[in-house]
Chain A
Amino acid sequence: MKTSVASYCYQCVAGPDLMRVDIEDGVPVGIRPSEAAEAIHPAHGKVCVKAFGLIQKTNNPHRIKTPMLRTNPKKGRGEDPGWKPVSWDEALGLICARLNAVREKGLLDESGFPRVAASFGGGGTPTSYMGTFPAFLAAWGPVDMSFGSGQGVKCYHSEHLYGEFWHRAFTVCPDTPLVEYIISFGANVEASGGVCGVRRHADARDRGAKRVQVEPHLSVTGACSAEWVPIRPKTDPAFMFALVHVLLHEVERARLDLPFLKERSSSPYLVAENGYYLRDPETRKPLIWDRKRGQAVPFDTEGADPALEGSFTASGLEIGPDDTEWRHENAPVQTAFAKLVEHVAPYSPEWAGEICDVPAETIRKVAFDYLDHARVGATTMVDGQEMPLRPVAISLGKTVSNGWGGYECTWARTLMAVLVGALEVPGGTLGTTVRLNRPADNRWSSVVPGPDGFMNYPMNPTKKGEWVESGPSRHAHQTLVPLAANSPWSQALGPTHLAWMWQGKGAEHLPKPTPPDVWFVYRTNPAISFWDTGKVEDAIANFPFTVAFAYTLDETNHMADVLLPECTDLEGLQLIRIGGSKYIEQFWDHQGFALRDPAAKPMGEAKDFTWISTQLAKGTGLLEKYNAAINRGAHGVRLYGEGWDHSLEPGEEHGVEEIWDATCRAASAELTGGEAHDGLEYFREHGFRTRPFPRARWYLYPAMVEQGLRFELPYQERLKRIGAELGARLHEKGITWWDRQLREYEPLPHYQDLPGLWSQALEEAYDVRIGDYPFWLLTARSMQYSWGGNVAIQMIHEVAANVAGHGGVVMNPQAAARLGVEEGDVVRILSPSAETSGRAILRQGIRPDTLLMIGQFDHWKTPFAAGHRAPSMNALTPMLMALTDATGSGADLVRVRVEKGGRP
Chain B
Amino acid sequence: MTRWAITVDLSRCVGCQTCTSSCKHANATAPGVQWRKVLDFEVGSFPDVARAFVPVGCMHCEEPSCLEVCPSTATRKRDDGIVTIDYDICIGCSYCIVACPYQARYRVDAPEPAYGRGRQMRHEAVRADPKRLGVAQKCTLCADRIDSGLATGLVPGLDEAATPACVASCISGALQMGDLDDPESNVSQLLREHAHSRMHEDLGNGPGFYYLHERAGPDAAPAGPPPMAEDPPGLAAVSPRLQTQWDWRAAMNFILGGSGTGLFAANMLAGPSSWWIALLALAMVGVGLAHVWAEIGKPWRFLNVYRHPQMSWMTREAMIALPFFALGGLGWLMGVAGLGPARLAGAAGALFALGFLYAQGRILRAAKGIPLWRRPEIVALILATGLAEGAGLLAALLVALEWPVPGWLPGALVLLLGLRFVAWRRFRTHIRRDGAPTKAIAALNACPALTFAPQAALAALTLVALLPLWAPVGELALFLAGLGAAASGWAFKYNLITRAAYDQGYALNRMPARGAGKSRAGLQPGWTRA
Q: Do A and B come from one complex?
A: yes
Tell me whether B218 is interfacial, beta carbon within 8 Å: no
- A794 vs B52: C-alpha distance when bound (angstroms): 25
* Chain A, range 543-598, C-beta contacts under 8 Å to B: none
Contact A226 B21 (CB under 8 A): no
Contact between A202 and B172, CB atoms less than 8 A apart: yes
User: Are B174 and A202 touching (Cβ within 8 A)?
Assistant: yes
Within 8 A of A (CB), among B28-87: 28, 31-32, 34, 37-40, 42, 44-47, 49-53
Tell me whether A25 and B15 are in contact (CB under 8 A).
no
Q: How far is the CB of B61 from chain A (nearest CB, A)?
A: 23
Whether A823 contacts B233 by the Cβ 8 Å rule is yes
Contact B160 A35 (CB under 8 A): yes
A814 to B51: give the CA distance in the assembly, Å: 18
Report yes or no: B161 in contact with A49, Cβ–Cβ below 8 A.
no
Candidates B161, B170, B516; contact of A35 at CB < 8 Å: B161
The docked-state distance in angstroms from the alpha carbon of A222 to that of B515 is 12
Stretch at the interface among B6-14, B219-227, B244-252, B293-301: B6-14
Among A33, A60, A61, A783, the residue within 8 A (CB) of B168 is: A33
Q: Which residues of B contact A55 (CB under 8 A)?
A: 25, 123
Closest chain B residue to A814, Cβ basis: B46
A366 at the interface (CB under 8 A from B): no
Known: A56-B121, A204-B515, A804-B40. A46 touches B170 (CB 8 A): yes
Q: Is the CB of A210 within 8 A of B28?
A: no
Q: Which of B17, B46, B53, B169 contacts A223 (CB 8 A)?
A: B53
- From B511, which residue of chain A is reached at the shortest CB distance? A223
Is A27 touching B123 in the complex (CB atoms < 8 A)? yes
| B347 nearest CB across to chain A (Å) | 56
A256 to B228, CA, bound (A): 48
From A25, A55, A223, name the one whose CB has the most chain B CB atoms within 10 angstroms. Answer: A223
Query: What's the nearest-Cβ distance from chain A to residue B239, in Å?
Result: 11
Q: How far is the CA of A447 from the CA of B274 in the complex (A)?
A: 103
Does A52 contact B22, Cβ atoms closer than 8 Å?
yes
B18 in contact (CB, < 8 A): yes
In the complex, the answer to whether A29 meets B127 with C-beta atoms within 8 Å is yes
Of all chain A residues, the one with the shortest Cβ separation from B38 is A802
Q: Any chain B CB within 8 A of the CB of A199?
A: yes
Any A CB within 8 A of the CB of B432: no
A814 to B46, CA, bound (A): 9
Query: Which of B232, B513, B514 has the most C-beta atoms of chain A within 10 angstroms of its own C-beta?
Result: B514
B14–A198 contact, CB under 8 A? yes
CB distance B122 to A27 under 8 Å? yes
**What is the CA–CA distance of A841 and B32 in the complex, to the nearest angstrom?**
21
Contact B46 A844 (CB under 8 A): yes
Per-residue CB proximity of B73-114 to A under 8 Å, as 1/0?
Answer: 000000000000000000000000000000000000000001
Are the CB atoms of A802 and B237 closer together than 8 Å? Answer: yes
CB pair B115 A226 closer than 8 Å = no
Chain A residues with CB under 8 Å of B170's CB are 46
For B436, list chain A residues within 8 Å (CB). Answer: none
Q: Knowing A56-B121, A202-B174, A845-B46 touch, does A802 contact B40 (C-beta < 8 A)?
A: yes
Q: Are B25 and A842 in contact (CB under 8 A)?
A: no
Query: Which residues does chain B contribute within 8 Å of A190, judged by CB atoms?
Result: 14, 16
Shortest B121–chain A CB gap in Å is: 4
Most buried by A among B17, B20, B38, B42: B17
Q: Is the CB of B171 within 8 A of A198?
A: yes
| B residues less than 8 Å from A814 (CB atoms) | 46
Q: Are B517 and A210 in contact (CB under 8 A)?
A: yes
Chain B residues positioned under 8 Å from A53 (CB to CB): 21
Closest to A34 in B: B160
Which residue of A28, A199, A800 is within 8 Å of B171 (Cβ)?
A: A199
A199 and B169 alpha carbons, distance in the complex (Å): 12
Measured in the bound complex, the distance between the Cα atoms of B12 and A803 in whole Å is 16
Interface of A is mostly: mixed
B322 at the interface (CB under 8 A from A): no
B233 touches A25 (CB 8 A): no
Is there an interface contact between B38 and A52, defined as CB atoms closer than 8 Å?
no
Complex Cα gap A543–B183 (Å):
68
| Max count, chain B CB within 10 A of own CB: residue among A24, A46, A800 | A46
Do B21 and A225 have beta carbons less than 8 Å apart? no
Instruction: Note all chain B residues with C-beta closer than 8 A to A28.
Output: 123
Residue on A nearest B40 in the bound complex, by CB: A804
Which A residues are in CB contact (< 8 Å) with B47? 228, 230, 847
Tell whether, in the assembled complex, residue A845 and residue B42 are in contact, meaning their CB atoms are under 8 Å apart: yes
- CB distance A843 to B121 under 8 Å? no
- Contacts A32-B168, A202-B172 hold; do A227 and B17 have CB atoms under 8 A apart? no
Min CB distance A511 to B, Å, is: 46
Closest approach, in angstroms, between the C-beta of B384 and any C-beta of chain A?
Answer: 39
**Contact A803–B18 (Cβ < 8 Å):** no
Q: Is B24 an interface residue when CB atoms closer than 8 A count as contact?
A: yes
**Residue A846 CB within 8 A of the other chain:** yes
Are A224 and B9 closer than 8 Å at their CB atoms?
A: no
Q: Which residues of B are found within 8 Å of A29, using beta-carbon distances?
A: 25, 28, 123, 126-127
Residues of A within 8 A of B169 (CB): 32-33, 46-47, 52
Which residues of A789-841 have CB atoms within 8 Å of chain B's CB atoms?
794-795, 798-800, 802-804, 812-814, 816, 823, 841
* A218 is an interface residue with CB less than 8 A from chain B: yes
Q: Which of A47, A209, A798, A848 touches B516 (beta carbons < 8 Å)?
A: A209
Which of B21, B46, B215 is A848 in contact with, Cβ under 8 Å? Answer: B46
Rounded to whole angstroms, the CA-CA distance of A204 and B171 in the bound complex is 14
Q: Are A32 and B165 in contact, with the CB atoms below 8 A?
A: yes
Contact B115 A62 (CB under 8 A): yes
Contact of B234 among A44, A48, A60, A823 (CB under 8 A): A823
Q: Which 4 A-B pairs have the closest CB atoms?
A: A226-B517, A223-B51, A52-B21, A210-B516
A-B CB contact pairs (8 Å), 21 listed? A25-B126, A29-B28, A30-B25, A31-B22, A46-B18, A46-B170, A49-B16, A49-B21, A61-B121, A62-B115, A204-B515, A205-B515, A223-B50, A798-B31, A802-B15, A813-B234, A843-B42, A844-B45, A844-B49, A844-B234, A845-B46
| Interface contacts beyond A33-B160, A47-B171: sample of 10 additional A-B pairs, CB < 8 Å, sorted by A | A48-B16, A52-B25, A190-B16, A195-B171, A198-B172, A208-B215, A220-B15, A223-B53, A794-B31, A813-B233
Q: Please give the residue numbers on chain A whose beta carbons come within 8 Å of chain B beta carbons, in ascending order.
A: 22, 24-25, 27-33, 35, 38, 43-44, 46-49, 52-53, 55-56, 59-62, 190, 195, 198-199, 202-206, 208-211, 218, 220, 222-228, 230, 783-784, 794-795, 798-800, 802-804, 812-814, 816, 823, 841-848, 864
